[in-house]
Amino acid sequence: MRVGLDVGGTKTDAVAVDDSGTVVARVRLATGQGPQAVIATVLEAVRALRESLDAGAAPFTSIGIGIPGQVMPGTTRVTHAVNLGIDDLDLAAAISPVLSLPVYVENDVKAAALGAYALHGAASQSLSSMAYLNLGTGIAAGIVEDGVLARGRHGSAGEVGHISVDPAGPLCRCGQHGCIEALAGGGAIAQRWGTGAALPVKDVFDASDAGDPLAQSLRAGLAAGAAAAVRVLVLTVDVDTVVLGGGVTNLGDALLSDIRAQLDASAAASPFLRSLCLSERVALLPLGSPAAALGAALLGEARTPEGVLAHG
């Protein structure tokens, strides 16, 4: 039995996955801040998962952790996890000795991509490649081809959020103008909306429906940025499907309709884009899906393509 954890800025989602790839237990708890508290959260999540299972359940064989920071390919060290108060931490070095289990670590979006592939691949037998596009505070994608996560060697695979698609667009926190993230990232939208609402993007959608011009412009930028990310992923990597997830996708069908309308408009203008049927190739990750935690659980076996394919 494998354990997978999605250690988020406020909550940690933990699952236990059996050999057939099925989630057999799931617990959620608050995430502590700072290296020691994050390690304590991981240990507590593993304990709670164990407790939620029957006494006769199989032992845990590995722990995978998805975490919002940079993880250099092939290492278990996370850096720049600013939302967790972690600057530099080797999670395996801290946790393996305590639990006596192999620990795998991956960026949370890349872990979610593996999980979304397993979830989506199970529903669609013919899926050979997929991008998971995370629309959260920031924007990034994870790319899975034939069951294997594209990691790249410098860690920038899937960083489509910082591709500029409009030189006259808003300034991005990265320093460029018109990045996809500056248009469609939840953080950038909240900042430009400026009301301090608890659910800023939901607030923007509501105000847009009520006719507010700024809200309508922000909402159009969100759809344009997300549609641009879909085009980049299909025209560069030729993924079969782009699965959308992340906090902003809590807006559900209203968001998906906006993005599809943008893709349909560009298809109407361009026979080439029309031939790619982009609008039909985007899908929403089901709300509440444990994609990142499931993907984290699969990390150990994802070192070999065959392992993941067995779960596809």
Among 6, 13, 106, 159, interactor with a second copy by CB under 8 A: 159
Q: Residue 144 Cβ, how far from a second copy at the closest point, in Å?
A: 13
Q: Given the rule CB under 8 A, which of 44-52, 106-114, 229-237, 285-293 is the region that contacts a second copy? A: 229-237
Q: Given the rule CB under 8 A, which of 20-28, 44-52, 155-163, 247-255 is the region that contacts a second copy? A: 155-163
- DSSP state letter for 155: S
Would you give the binding string for a second copy spanning residues 263-282, x where CB under 8 A is met?
---x--xxxxx--x------
Residues 15-54 interacting with a second copy (rule: CB under 8 A): none
Among 32, 66, 158, 185, interactor with a second copy by CB under 8 A: 158
Q: Given the rule CB under 8 A, which of 47-55, 106-114, 170-178, 204-212 is the region that contacts a second copy? A: 170-178
Question: How many residues of this chain bind a second copy (CB under 8 A)?
Answer: 45
Compare residues 57 and 163 and give the one whose CB is closer to a second copy: 163
Residues 257, 253: Cα–Cα separation, whole Å: 6
Q: In this structure, what token pair is assigned to residue 158?
A: 């899937």
Residue 92, interface with a second copy (CB under 8 A)?
no
Residue 174, interface with a second copy (CB under 8 A)?
yes
Residue ranges binding a second copy (CB under 8 A): 128-129, 141, 143, 150-160, 162-168, 172, 174-176, 224, 228, 231-240, 266, 269-273, 276
